Chain A
Amino acid sequence: MIFHIDKNAKKLKVEMKSLIWVYLLVFVVLKCLPSNAFAESSYVLPYPSAMPGSIFYRLNLIREEILRYWYFGDFGGFHFNLKQSDKYLVEAKTLFDYKQYLLAHKALQKSDKYFGKIYPNLLSAKNNGKNISEKKKVLKRAAQKHIEELVKIKDDAPATFNWTPEKEKPTTLNIWESIDKSIKLRQKRL
């Protein structure tokens, strides 16, 4: 009996050793092969900027209002709204990571607001005789990237969140519902 157990253990040990070698070989081969570790979309989102609560965040809000006038024109509006939509999406993602759901939810709504304004800018440009083919491609790539990020956010975020402010009625944030709405908005531009 003892002998039988020993034999089995020895067999198991050999099998384990071979498995480790196979795993190592697969690992080395996979490492050597060119890997596709890039995001699906080539569109690059900006770094997170100042977050709510910081003095710079308030300054950024003022800057945003000034820039609105600096970015006049159809293409100017396109660039401005896309930039802001990107910025607030990154802000939302960061805040979701830190479980600041209320602020994240607000940032996502802002991103949606700006994203919704992009296409009307392009339509206006088209009506003014401007070629919008390249801009449409950029918008498509941006929408793809946004959707990628929104899906990731949804994976980690709770479906709902109950927010209870001091001396006020609690509010339920339908986070998944909001994210789905954001995804739908962007899917229109694919």
Chain B
Amino acid sequence: MKIVTYIFIATLILLSVFTYVFVDVNIVYLKSLYTGYYLTHRLLLTLFYGILISVLFGCFYFYIKNADKFKGSLKKIIILVILVTILSYPGALTFDIFNYIITAKVAFFYQENPYIIYPIEFINDPNLLFTRAANKTALYGPFWILVSAIPYFAGLGNFVLTLFSFKIFIALFYVATVYLINKLDKNAVIFFALNPLVIIETLVSGHNDIAMIFFALSAFCLFFKKRYGLSTLTFMASIFIKFATLFLVPIFIAMAKDRIVGKKINQEKAFMYSSLFMFFVFLLSPFREELYPWYATWFIVFTSFLYKNKFLQNLVLVFTFGLMLRYIPYMGTGSYFGITPLFRNLLMLTPVLIFLIYSWLRTLFQRS
């Protein structure tokens, strides 16, 4: 059993080192780490990424298959996962963390309203060289901008320190979310905490979706404990981080109705509907921009409580694997256009289709 953990952690270490291959030439603060390999060795890197992701998901499948055997060492595994990924370079797959930093800079350094002033208006700001959404006003909710003051000021004006302050800040939300899941249902922890998509998108790329998830889950916890005022506040905090959890309002209304009528709240049912609703919002995301892999954390967290439904969890596992493959076409071609959009969708859906056909055939054989 230990060998799986060794492979899992070793692969994460390799992934963390691998991320530094993607250091942008324009990040002057990390100039000494720039290799340019992501421009010259595209295919090799894509192949390496594919192998790393496959190994991670293979280990993850093993973890959830043998969840009972890992319960004792889960805490240690999670700590190791955080330790080996926290120092990875967050701009390998996405660049959102740079947006968080520049938005915080507009608000707290330049003391301007990030909802009306574009970062690009601050001519000569060194962050403009590598921030991709510098021509957009703040993309996140006001509560996120407010709390982003903590990692921003913790960075003491040093870019590298700020970058890793943001990563640590995000990692704290990951830890807090895992703690909450553990409090609600110990059996649900593995599916969320060790999911490679959650690890990569949260601990490596540093997406703030985990903060939104943490506050939404806190709202559920507090509601179950009948602390409705605090529950409402934390739910509002979640909405004002990234708005997606607004779609959970009907769940809270339904739970409130049950409480008023005197019915016992069915937690599993609440999480099942939350998972469905968040999956629905996830599917709507291409209408706004596109189907980003890290949006999957919105429903993974609620799916983790539905461990009795093995088929559903396996389906989500396979789908998250497909989502992580979406990075491959851009990594291989360096273009967002041409065949990239088609290949992205093909790579995402192929594992799901294979799994569905396999499940169907298995059922057929079992019947016969």
Contact mask for chain A residues 101-138; partner B; CB cutoff 8 A; 1 contact, 0 none: 00000000000000000000000000010110111000
Report the bound CA distance from A75 to B125 in whole Å. Answer: 15
Report the bound CA distance from A124 to B293 in whole Å. Answer: 43
Pick the contact of B112 from A74, A131, A134, A135 — CB < 8 Å? A74
Residue A141 CB within 8 A of the other chain: no
Given contacts A72-B111, A73-B110, A73-B111, whether A131 and B123 have CB atoms under 8 Å apart is: yes
Binds A, one of B28-36, B52-60, B113-121, B203-211: B113-121
**Chain A residues in 8 Å Cβ range of B121:** 75, 134-135
**Chain B residues in 8 Å Cβ range of A71:** 113, 116
**Chain A residues in 8 Å Cβ range of B110:** 73, 75, 128, 130
Q: Nearest residue in B to A135 (C-beta to C-beta)?
A: B121
- In chain A between 31 and 71, which residues have their CB closer than 8 angstroms to a CB of chain B? 70-71
Pick the contact of A131 from B115, B117, B124 — CB < 8 Å? B124
**Chain B residues in 8 Å Cβ range of A70:** 113, 115-116
Residue A189 CB within 8 A of the other chain: no
Is A130 touching B122 in the complex (CB atoms < 8 A)?
Answer: yes
Q: Nearest residue in A to B121 (C-beta to C-beta)?
A: A75
Chain B interface size range: 10 to 19
Report the bound CA distance from A134 to B125 in whole Å. Answer: 14
Is A79 touching B123 in the complex (CB atoms < 8 A)?
Answer: no
Report the bound CA distance from A130 to B117 in whole Å. Answer: 13
Q: Nearest residue in B to A67 (C-beta to C-beta)?
A: B116
Is A73 touching B122 in the complex (CB atoms < 8 A)?
Answer: no
- A to B contact number (C-beta, < 8 Å): 35
Nearest Cβ distance between residue A160 and chain B, in whole angstroms?
41
Pick the contact of A73 from B112, B123, B124 — CB < 8 Å? B112
Given contacts A72-B111, A73-B110, A73-B111, whether A133 and B123 have CB atoms under 8 Å apart is: yes
Is A79 touching B117 in the complex (CB atoms < 8 A)?
Answer: yes
Interface centre among A75, A76, A134 (most CB of B within 10 A): A75
**Chain B residues in 8 Å Cβ range of A131:** 122-124
Contact mask for chain B residues 123-138; partner A; CB cutoff 8 A; 1 contact, 0 none: 1100000000000000
Report the bound CA distance from A173 to B234 in whole Å. Answer: 59
**Chain A residues in 8 Å Cβ range of B115:** 70
Nearest Cβ distance between residue A56 and chain B, in whole angstroms?
22
Report the bound CA distance from A134 to B112 in whole Å. Answer: 17
Report the bound CA distance from A128 to B111 in whole Å. Answer: 10
Nearest Cβ distance between residue A130 and chain B, in whole angstroms?
6
Is B123 touching A76 in the complex (CB atoms < 8 A)?
Answer: no
Is A76 touching B116 in the complex (CB atoms < 8 A)?
Answer: yes
**Chain B residues in 8 Å Cβ range of A130:** 110, 122
Nearest Cβ distance between residue A139 and chain B, in whole angstroms?
14
Report the bound CA distance from A76 to B106 in whole Å. Answer: 11
**Chain A residues in 8 Å Cβ range of B116:** 70-71, 76, 79
Report the bound CA distance from A133 to B123 in whole Å. Answer: 9
Is B113 touching A72 in the complex (CB atoms < 8 A)?
Answer: yes
Nearest Cβ distance between residue A121 and chain B, in whole angstroms?
11
Contact mask for chain B residues 90-113; partner A; CB cutoff 8 A; 1 contact, 0 none: 000000000000000000001111
**Chain A residues in 8 Å Cβ range of B111:** 72-73, 128
Q: Nearest residue in B to A70 (C-beta to C-beta)?
A: B113
Is A72 touching B123 in the complex (CB atoms < 8 A)?
Answer: no
Report the bound CA distance from A31 to B68 in whole Å. Answer: 84
Report the bound CA distance from A133 to B365 in whole Å. Answer: 73
**Chain B residues in 8 Å Cβ range of A76:** 112-113, 116-117
Report the bound CA distance from A124 to B15 in whole Å. Answer: 47
Report the bound CA distance from A134 to B123 in whole Å. Answer: 8
Report the bound CA distance from A133 to B122 in whole Å. Answer: 10
Nearest Cβ distance between residue A49 and chain B, in whole angstroms?
18
Q: A79-B117, A134-B121 are in contact. List 15 more A-B contacts (CB 8 A).
A: A70-B113, A70-B115, A71-B116, A72-B111, A72-B113, A73-B110, A76-B113, A76-B116, A76-B117, A130-B110, A131-B122, A131-B123, A133-B123, A134-B123, A135-B121
**10 nearest A-B pairs in the assembled complex, by CB-CB distance:** A73-B112, A131-B123, A75-B117, A76-B113, A75-B112, A73-B111, A131-B124, A76-B112, A72-B113, A75-B121
Q: Please list the residues of chain B having a beta carbon within 8 angstroms of any beta carbon in chain A.
A: 110-113, 115-117, 121-124
Q: Please list the residues of chain A having a beta carbon within 8 angstroms of any beta carbon in chain B.
A: 70-76, 79, 128, 130-131, 133-135
Please name 16 pairs of A and B residues whose Cβ atoms are closer than 8 Å in the assembled complex, sorted by A.
A70-B113, A70-B116, A72-B111, A72-B112, A73-B110, A73-B117, A74-B112, A75-B110, A75-B121, A76-B116, A130-B110, A131-B122, A131-B123, A134-B121, A134-B123, A135-B121
